[in-house]
Structure 1
Amino acid sequence: MTTERTGVATLKGNPITLIGPELKVGDQAPDFNLNRSLVEFASLKDFEGKVKLISVVPSIDTGVCDTQTRRFNEAAAELGDNVVVLTVSADLPFAQARWCGAAGVDKVVMLSDYKELSFGKAYGVLIKEFHLDMRSIFVLDASNTIQHVEYLAEMSEHPDYEKALEAVRGLL
């Protein structure tokens, strides 16, 4: 049975439904199988032993998503080799690669949830009405235990960048 969460998120004040569980600090992060390209995939195992900052955006081609991804790309350069910053969206891998090239973003790993939206369902961020993933942040320690989570209540707002980065720095 699929969990539907209502009354927890909006888009410009209009209610949206999130599919999947609400993950909490202390939970073991669900594994995922996301596209790096049309033929290459990534799972949590690919980032084993690293602290993971997972930045989820609805679509890379929108203003807040652009800013969020650029902000974490800048931070990734300073966080060191024990940290990986992953940006997850339902955009096609082609669109993600095009955007990264145009934006000069080269420190984050772009991963696409377009095929089965399985990340969105497992992490509780799939927006039923749009088949996109809701803006959110997850910080996982090297053992994939969630140490910080932020589900935004309003899709068009920015996450708390500093709080997420503090959580990452606290694990180093």
Structure 2
Amino acid sequence: MNTVTFKGNVFHLEGEMPALNSKIKAFSLLANDLSAKTQKDYEGKVLVLVAVPSLDTGVCDMEVRKFNEKAASLSDDVRIVAVSLDLPFAQSRWCGAAGVKNVETLSDHYSAEFGKTYGVLIKELRLLARSIFVYDKTGMLVYYELVPEVTNEPNYDAAIDAVKKAL
């Protein structure tokens, strides 16, 4: 899929989404303390990459809060990372205000390279399309979802089921 809709309007995605059973694509994102985080930081863990347009929107706020709740009951071998183009400072402020401690937030604001590499950068808006990528402990993609309408929520149950199967 090369497009998504936002409130019914069609927008184009840059890049190509990874295929099921493909190895994790390299990424470098900024943590809230401005340190770099890469896929290597999560080796040996089940990694859930949750791309959202902005933590400061209602659906994204709700989505990351739900993943934060679900993460509390998952194994220590699972890492859930929310990626957005929000500045790391805004992400940190949002996490504090929302009480989010089980989901790590990382920023792609500098170059949007994650969005391009994973095929989820909305070209016209320079935002990430709502999507989920679940990688098993060996770094293989076992589940993904690109939400066709950006204002809709993802399928939480399917993502968590994929996480449990990957453990």
The Cα offsets for residues 73-127 of structure 1, whole Å up to 9 and x where unpaired, read as 0111111210000000000001100000000001111100000101000100001
Measure the CA separation in 2 of the matches of 1:120 and 1:38.
Answer: 21
Measure the CA separation in 1 of the matches of 2:71 and 2:33.
Answer: 25
Q: Secondary structure at the match of 2:124?
A: coil
Q: Match for residue 61 of structure 1?
A: 56
Q: 2:155 pairs with 157, 160, 168, which one?
A: 160
How does 1:129-168 map onto structure 2 within 5 Å? 129-168=124-163
Q: 1:42 pairs with 37, 40, 48, which one?
A: 37
Q: Match for residue 10 of structure 2?
A: 15
Runs of 4+ aligned residues of structure 1 deviating over 3 Å after TM superposition are none
**1:119 equivalent in alignment to 2:88:** no
Q: Match for residue 106 of structure 1?
A: 101
The unaligned stretches of length 5 or more in structure 1 are none
The unaligned stretches of length 5 or more in structure 2 are none
**1:27 equivalent in alignment to 2:47:** no
Letter in 1 for 2:97: A
**RMSD value, Cα:** 1.1
The 8 Å contact of residues 34 and 88 in structure 2, kept in 1 or not, is answered as no
TM-score by length of 2: 0.97
Shift of 1:146: 0.5
Q: Secondary structure at the match of 2:61?
A: helix
Q: Secondary structure at the match of 1:110?
A: strand
Letter in 2 for 1:31: A
Shift of 1:9: 0.9
Report how many aligned residue pairs link the two structures.
167
Letter in 2 for 1:105: V
Letter in 1 for 2:89: F
**1:169 equivalent in alignment to 2:164:** yes
The 8 Å contact of residues 32 and 91 in structure 2, kept in 1 or not, is answered as no
